[in-house]
Structures are given as C-alpha cells and as structure tokens.
Amino acid sequence: MKFLFDDKAFSFQALRTAGHAACGGADLGEVLVTCEDVPDGNEAAWCRAWSATAARLHRAGDDALAAGHRVSAREALLRASNYYRTADFFRLDDRDHDRESDRLALHSRETFARAAELFDTPVVPQRIRYEGTTLPGYFFLAGPTDEPRPTVIHHGGYDSTLEELYFMVGAGALRRGYHVLAFEGPGQQSVRREQGLAFRPDWEAVVTPVVDHALTLPGVDADRLVLVGTSFGGLLGARAAAFDRRFAACVLHNGIYDFYRLPLTVIPAHLAEWVAESRDEVAGPALAVAMSHSTQLRWFLRHGMWAFGAKTPAEALRACMPYNLDGVAEHITCPTLVLDAENDVVARGEAQRVHAALRAEKDLIRFAAADGSGEHCQEGAALQFHQRVFDWLDERGI
C-alpha cells in the first residue's frame, strides 16, 4: 500500500504512525501536514518534521494539564510520544553517541509516562528482575483486581518501543477486559540504549522471568495468560512459548519462521553467499552499494548493527542466522494463532511455515490487501487486527 511517499520505507513508517490513531496515538491531519514537506527518502527532513510536530503536541499537553484539562493532556501527550518515536526512527548513523536520538527517545518515554498517569484505569510502571538487572514494563489494568482477569503478556520485535506496545495491542486488550503486561527485552529500544544488552535467540530466557513477575501482580489469572509477540517478536514469542508451558494461548503477530531469510530476499544470491562465507572484503562494498539504493535495506542493516551489537552490515546479517524455529515450533503446546499479511512480501511464506511446523491446536489468519489490512503486522488496520485476534481468544474461553 502506497501511503504519502513513493519510498517504501517512508510509506510504511508513515502508515504505521498514522495507524496508531485508532488507539489515540495519532491524528490524521497531523500526519498529513507533517509528511507534506518531507522529500522522499530524506531522513534528516523526516526527523526534523516529526520532531517539530511532537514538540508542538508536547507543549499542548503541558498547557492542557496546567489548565486542568486532564483528557486533553492525555491525548496530546500520547500523540507526542508516538511522533517522537517516529522522528527517531531513521537516526541510525551512530545511535550510541547521537544526543538528538537520545533526546527524542527520552521525550517519547517521558510523554507516554505522563499520559499514563492520566488514564481512567491504573497504569503501573514495572521493573522486572532479569539476570542481575531489570527490564522495563507497564502493567495496564482493565479494572479492579478483586477478581482475576485474563492477562496479555506482550513484547515487540526488531524496532518497536515499550510505549508503542500500548497502541499496537494494549488498548484493544483493555477494551475487552484483559490486563496487559507489556515489556522490553534485550536488543529492544530502552534496554539496548540504556543497558547495552543485545538481542539473544534463546528468548525463553527473557520471557520466563516476565511470566514469573506477572504471576505476582494483583488480578492476574494464572490459567489465562496470553503471549503476544509482534513482528520479529512473532518468532521470539514462538521460541518462548515452546519452552514455557504456562500460556493458555499464543499469538504470533506476524508469524516468522526464519529471520535470516528476510533480508536475503532483497539482496542478490551471490552477495548472500559472500556474507555467509564471511568474505567481507567483497561483501562489505557490495552491501554498501545495495544499501545506497534502498532505504529499507539501509535501515534494516544499520538497525541490526545497533540491536545485535555488530560492527558491520555483514556482521549484522550473520547475526540473524540463529533466529529460526528449526526444532522449536513443534514443542509449542498451547493453542497458537499465526497471523499473515498479504502485502508483506519480504516475509512471504513465513507464516505458513510456522503454521505447518506447529503440532498444537493452531489457526492461521491471513489479512487481505483488499480489506486494507494486508500490511506487515496489519499496520493501518488496528481495529480489524484487534477484532480477529480477541474474538479468536474469546472463542477459546480465555
């Protein structure tokens, strides 16, 4: 789906940001006017435009709160948080030393935290014990805790933030009476930025302490825990569900079987061979040329260098190799819903591979382009996504 830009990466990210309007994370007119003067593929202009819009909403939220307008303040601050995240998205030249990137990320977290204090139902920040440190999270309560409720445990994937998880899944779950424990793990935004922890393929080592933590929280029904993993998290979540049997259901949003295969679909076969053989003296220059012609590939590899702790694009590609479900998917025992998206051409066939490998009760839902829900992770179609996922869970008595 083309949305405002010819550049595929810009188009998708603009749609992603706009799609969060369904859960209070954007307003369409703000998205349109922000994108209006951003040239296709101009990452500096993208950052400036979104940063300016975020700052304007940030001020509006501050002013509304000072004037006692609680709902208006919450709404403005939620949008500011999403726009700050969007502004930072393509800033990957040297993220570990980029003060502007740090500023944008901090503002995204802080504006969301302030908005969360203004919710009609409690939102409790969490620090989850994990291997000598802690992971950040939010516990969103759907209502009183005197009666246990089903609870969604949700993590994102390659590039989502803790705050964005509310717009993706949290808001839809809360409307249906689920508590939600959202968290970030190693390799993901604030954990990578503040603690330097990179992704790890044995994601069950991350999720198991999160489940332990969830079971200490008030109002959580231990028999109705649902794991939702989004994007790359669809693979990570499957790995976790295979080794932690405490979930009543698992949702893979979307299903990915082999993460390494995804970038290989957009580079020549001979280049993929050079990377696999560690022939970096020829792979490095060839990757640099390929990255110069594709915003998507350039972003994927630069982000991978940061998220995996790799020194070069070739190393970032090789870091993807262990992330697959070989010998794993068949060990999942809980009912599992695998989601697919018609327009997600880079991941074409991945959801079907996951579904075929599962031995537990399973379903596959393919979202269609004709319905406006065919983009990766149903970006731009949050309400359709929520409807089909939570109806599926309802039908299983969760």
Cis amide prior to 42 (ω within 30 degrees): no
pLDDT at 367 over 90: yes
pLDDT at position 345: 86
pLDDT at position 254, please?
94
For residue 152, what pLDDT is reported? 98
Give the C-alpha distances (Å, rounded to integers) separating 321 from 201, 260, 276, 314, 394: 10, 5, 9, 12, 36
Q: Within 10 A of 1 (CB to CB), how many other CB atoms are there?
A: 14
Give the DSSP H or E segment for 140: strand 133-140
Judged against a pLDDT cut of 90, whether residue 322 lies above it is answered with yes
For a pLDDT cut of 90, what percent of the chain falls above it?
98
Residue positions annotated with a catalytic role: 231
Are the CB atoms for 312 and 224 separated by under 8 Å?
no
> Which phi and psi angles does 323 have, rounded to 5°?
-90, 85
Instruction: Report the distance separating Cα 228 and Cα 315, nearest Å.
Output: 29
Cα 21 to its chain centre, rounded Å, is 16
Residues 259-284 have a mean pLDDT of 95
Res 229: pLDDT:
98
Q: 245: which residues sit within 8 A by CB, 6+ positions away? A: 333, 334
Closest among 337, 140, 148, 356 to 249, alpha carbons compared: 337
Q: pLDDT > 70: what percent of the chain?
A: 100
d(CA 50, CA 38): 10
pLDDT at 82 over 90: yes
Domains in the chain (CATH in brackets) are 8-114 (1.20.1440.110), 121-259+323-395 (3.40.50.1820), 262-319 (no CATH)
Residues 211-258: tens digit of each pLDDT: 999 999 999 999 999 999 999 999 999 999 999 999 999 999 999 999
* Secondary structure (DSSP) of 10-28: HHHHHHHHHHGGGGTS--H
How big is the chain by its Cα radius of gyration, in Å?
20
Q: What confidence score (pLDDT) does residue 81 get?
A: 98
pLDDT at 353: 98
Whether 373 has a pLDDT exceeding 90, the answer reads yes
Query: Rounded to whole angstroms, how far apart are CA atoms 63 and 58?
Result: 9
Report whether pLDDT(346) > 90. Answer: no
> Is residue 129 helix, strand or coil?
strand
pLDDT, tens only, 168-219: 999 999 999 999 999 999 999 999 999 999 999 999 999 999 999 999 999 9
What average pLDDT does this structure show over 286-310? 96
**Mean pLDDT score of the chain, rounded to an integer?**
97
pLDDT at residue 275 greater than cutoff 90: yes
